[in-house]
């Protein structure tokens, strides 16, 4: 099986590749980042719809030409700003994105806290979540600086302290959240530190994505 990993930057693209290899070392991967850094990815995501679709379709054609069988979009904010469903249908290939995980999450929870890279992403997650769970509520935080801190390789414990994870978890808990969702694929980088500060389950959508990719 050969999988094209599409993500926002070289860092989270590598994280997606590493995630798949941890799950199954036999998976072949090809890497396709869309920007050089988080800011560049953010600016790409707020560009025109036609511009985004054209660029992503260029990646699809190259990846298919390179023998790709499946697409794994390892970026929440990218998958919330590009219509991957229509592109997947156009090229007749399976594409798994973080957005595809939120329907499953919405079947289990009514109120979730989301920590994302930007607020465009929190909107995309909210749209997908409430399309499945009409009484559902998403309480979101979008913070590009947090994504940049991960890219800079800062110590996870330092990130947790600097960005006030304890108070953030308290806010989610006080608002009745049943779980905290990592709405950015950079954020498993500090999942241990975040989980230590809350009794709420911390969900990495990548695990649901992997199940969809492999049928396991």
pLDDT tens-digit readout, 126-165: 999 999 999 999 999 999 999 999 999 999 999 999 999 9
Q: How much is the average pLDDT of 158-175? A: 98
- Residue 216's pLDDT is 56
Give the pLDDT score at 69.
84
Residue 163 confidence (pLDDT): 98
Using pLDDT thresholds of 50, 70 and 90, give the confidence band for residue 53: very high
Going by the DSSP 8-state scheme, the letter that residue 190 receives in this structure is G
Residue 212 pLDDT > 70, yes or no? yes
Q: Which burial class, exposed, middle or buried, applies to 199 when counting CB atoms under 10 A from its CB (0-12, 13-18, 19+)? A: exposed
Percent of the chain with pLDDT over 70: 100
Summarised one tens digit per residue, pLDDT across range 188-199 is: 999 999 999 999
What does the alpha-carbon distance between residue 155 and residue 195 come to, in Å, rounded to a whole number? 16
Q: Which fold has domain 2-98+208-214?
A: Rossmann fold (3.40.50)
Q: What is the C-alpha to C-alpha distance for residues 13 and 35, in angstroms, rounded to an integer?
A: 10
- In terms of Cβ atoms closer than 10 Å to its own Cβ (0-12, 13-18, 19+), residue 164 is exposed
Spans of all domains in the chain: 2-98+208-214, 99-205
Q: How far apart are CA 24 and CA 204, in angstroms?
A: 18
State the fold for domain 99-205.
Rossmann fold (3.40.50)
Contact yes or no for 20/27 (Cβ under 8 A) = yes
Q: Distance between CA atoms of 84 and 134, rounded to whole angstroms? A: 23
Domains 2-98+208-214 and 99-205 agree in fold: yes
Helix (H) / strand (E) element for 197: namely none
Mean residue pLDDT of the chain comes to: 96
**What single DSSP character describes residue 188?**
G
């Amino acid at each position: 099986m050969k999988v094209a990993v599409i993500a926002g930057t070289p860092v989270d693209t590598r994280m997606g590749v590493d995630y798949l290899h941890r799950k199954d070392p036999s998976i072949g991967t090809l890497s396709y980042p869309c920007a050089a850094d988080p800011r560049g990815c953010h600016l790409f995501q707020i560009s025109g719809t036609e511009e985004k679709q054209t660029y992503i379709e260029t990646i699809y054609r190259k990846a298919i030409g390179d023998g790709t069988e499946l697409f794994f979009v390892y970026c929440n904010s990218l998958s919330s700003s590009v219509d991957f469903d229509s592109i997947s249908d156009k090229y007749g290939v399976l594409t798994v994105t973080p957005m595809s995980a939120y329907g499953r999450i919405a079947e289990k929870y009514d109120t979730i806290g989301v920590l994302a890279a930007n607020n465009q992403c929190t909107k995309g997650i909210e749209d997908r979540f409430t399309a499945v769970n009409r009484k559902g509520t998403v309480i979101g935080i979008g913070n590009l600086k947090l994504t940049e801190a991960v890219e800079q390789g800062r110590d996870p414990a330092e990130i947790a302290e600097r960005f006030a994870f304890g108070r953030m978890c308290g806010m989610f808990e006080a608002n009745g959240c049943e779980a905290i969702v990592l709405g950015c694929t950079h954020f498993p980088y500090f999942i241990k530190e975040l989980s230590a500060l809350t009794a709420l389950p911390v969900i990495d959508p990548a695990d649901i994505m992997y199940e969809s990719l492999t049928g396991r």
